Every structure is written in C-alpha cells, then in structure tokens.
Amino acid sequence: MKPEVILVSSIFPPTQEVLEREFSCHRMYEAADRETFLREFGPRVRGVATYGPPGANAALMDALPKLEIISNFGVGVDAIDLTAAKARGVAVTNTPDVLNECVADTGMALVLNLLRKFPQAENHLRSGYWASRGPYAFTRSLGGKTLGVLGLGRIGEAVARRALAFGMTIRYHNRNRKDVPYAYDPDPVALARNADVLIVVTPGGAQTSKLVDSRVLDALGPDGYLVNIARGSVVDEPVLLRYLREKRIAGAGLDVFADEPVVPSGFFALDNAVLLPHVASATVETRTAMGNLQIENLRRHFSGQPLLTPVV
C-alpha cells in the first residue's frame, strides 16, 4: 500500500504528478470542507507535502495522528510550525541550495533595475517618449557602491559573489560573524548606515519580523536603496510604503510582500519601487530541482533511508 500524503497546496505540476503517482495523495486545497476532509483522511495520513504560505500549522498536525513527515517545496519554512513538529516527533524537510543561484540572480536584477531604472527606461521607449521627449533621464551606477547584505547565508553569499563582479563593495550583518572577506556590522542599523544598497536575505519568521523598521530605513537615508528577496515579514511594510512616498529612502526593489499575493496598491503608483510577484526561484530548472528534493525526501523517509535535507 502506498503511503497516504496530504497536499496542502497545489505544487509545481511536474512535481505534483510524481507525488500523485508514487504516493496516495489527497488534495486538501480542493476540499469543499476542510473538517470533513480531515475526518475522512486524517487518521491514515503519514506525510504532508506543502508549498508556500499555507505551510503546516499545529492544528493540521493535531488532525493527523499518524503524521511522520512534512516535506516543503521551498527553502523557507517560516509557514511551518517547527516547534509543533518537533514536539510531535514529525520530521520536516525543505529544499535548500538548489535555488541559491536563481534567487541571487533575482536579487541582482532588482539592484540593477532599481539603480539603473531599466523598467522605467523601457517604458519610456514603449510609450514613444524617446522620439517625442528625448533620451531617458540619467540613473545611478552600481560600481563603487556598497551593498549591505542582511543575512549572509548561502543565498546571501551567492548575492555577494555577483555584486563583487559588478564592482560593488560588500558588508554584512548576521547574528554571528562569519569567516568571510567582507566587513561586518554589529546590527542592521549600522549596516544600513554604511550601505548604499541594503539587500534582505534573512529567513522569515518571528525572529526577523519587522527587522527592517523606521530606524533601519532612516539609517539607509534618502540616497539609500532597499532590496528584499527574503520574506515580506522582515520589513515593516506600511512604514516602507510611507518612506518611499516621502522619498525618505531612494527606492525599493521587492520580490516579497507581507500578505502575498495581495500587494498594497499604494506601491503600484510609486516610480521609486521595482516590484516582482515572488519569482526569485521561479525557473523551470530550479523548480524542477526543488521538486526533486521534496519528492526524494518523502521517498527516503518512507523507505527508511536518511533524509537528504532535514530541518528538524
């Protein structure tokens, strides 16, 4: 008998196809009534496959007395209650490393688009203004600027490598200092003060909630730029919106938002913001690799082999 697995949300289709072939999957996201669904399947379910903000909370775990493993499609596990999983002896896996390069590419694309205003310049051309109004306005260079990396983990290091190739100087802040050739700042305010561009690459969750607040944005100042490829929760979003409107920082490049997929409409009118719909890891190659890790962790668990990428 195939192990029974709940799909909390729909997943990258090629991944979901394999999951549904290899396991006895139940689509919770299609259930008309979640309680009835959990009453019917909950007692037999041994695995959960999840993706994105629905994650897996303690209430879901409580409804699954035989639950052994939660396999996440994504490196960030902020939507999974890790304490509840640990307390119940439930394993949690994620998909680290395979997305580092793509997410870092997106970080640099946001830095480039923010400083060089390429989206606005393209819009200038598409609107016919090049011929009618003349060349697009001058923008800002990356070379010689300082990039402050808030959260120098595996993705942060991939961002730093790229920024070096663009002629930028790297500084960083982490809870713990690392053995790297970059200058360390003891807190996010100091990092923002020393940086021209602050890029947020921390994990999400309670520990980093609103880490980038008005004090950090004040330290970044009217010539400073913010880029966020981490989680919307790490930035105080209403404060950021106000600072952008009032030009108290020069601009922001955002791939993530506090309440995805809802983006406060105030952002749409801003010329000093570059906005992406959480696409950092969204290439076919990277999503395939992420899916393969999610599948392989489930396969290994149910055949008694060590997990590839356990979180708890």
Q: Which residues are catalytic?
A: 231, 260, 278
For 234-267, give the DSSP string. GB-HHHHHHHHHTTSSSEEEES--TBTTB--GGG
- In which residue are the tokens 């700042």 written? 185
Question: Residue 15 or 281: which CB sits closer to ligand 8YV?
Answer: 281
b/e map of 124-148 (b: 16 or more CB within 10 Å)? Answer: beeeeeeeeeeebeeeeebeebbbb
Q: Are 182 and 152 within 8 A, CB to CB?
A: yes
For the chain, first and last CA: distance in Å?
Answer: 27
Our CA dihedral for 139, 144, 149, 152, rounded to 10 degrees, sits at 140
Question: Does the N-terminal peptide bond of residue 261 adopt cis geometry, omega within 30 degrees of 0?
Answer: yes
Smallest separation, CB 203 to ligand 8YV (Å): 9
CA distance 48 to 46: 7
Question: Residue 100 or 113: which CB sits closer to ligand 8YV?
Answer: 100
Smallest separation, CB 1 to ligand 8YV (Å): 30
Smallest separation, CB 304 to ligand 8YV (Å): 27
* Contacts with ligand 8YV, residue ranges (CB under 6 A): 51-52, 73-76, 99, 278, 281
Q: What SS3 state is found at 222?
A: coil
Question: Residue 52 or 221: which CB sits closer to ligand 8YV?
Answer: 52
Smallest separation, CB 290 to ligand 8YV (Å): 7
Question: Residue 76 or 107: which CB sits closer to ligand 8YV?
Answer: 76
Question: Residue 113 or 309: which CB sits closer to ligand 8YV?
Answer: 309
Smallest separation, CB 191 to ligand 8YV (Å): 22
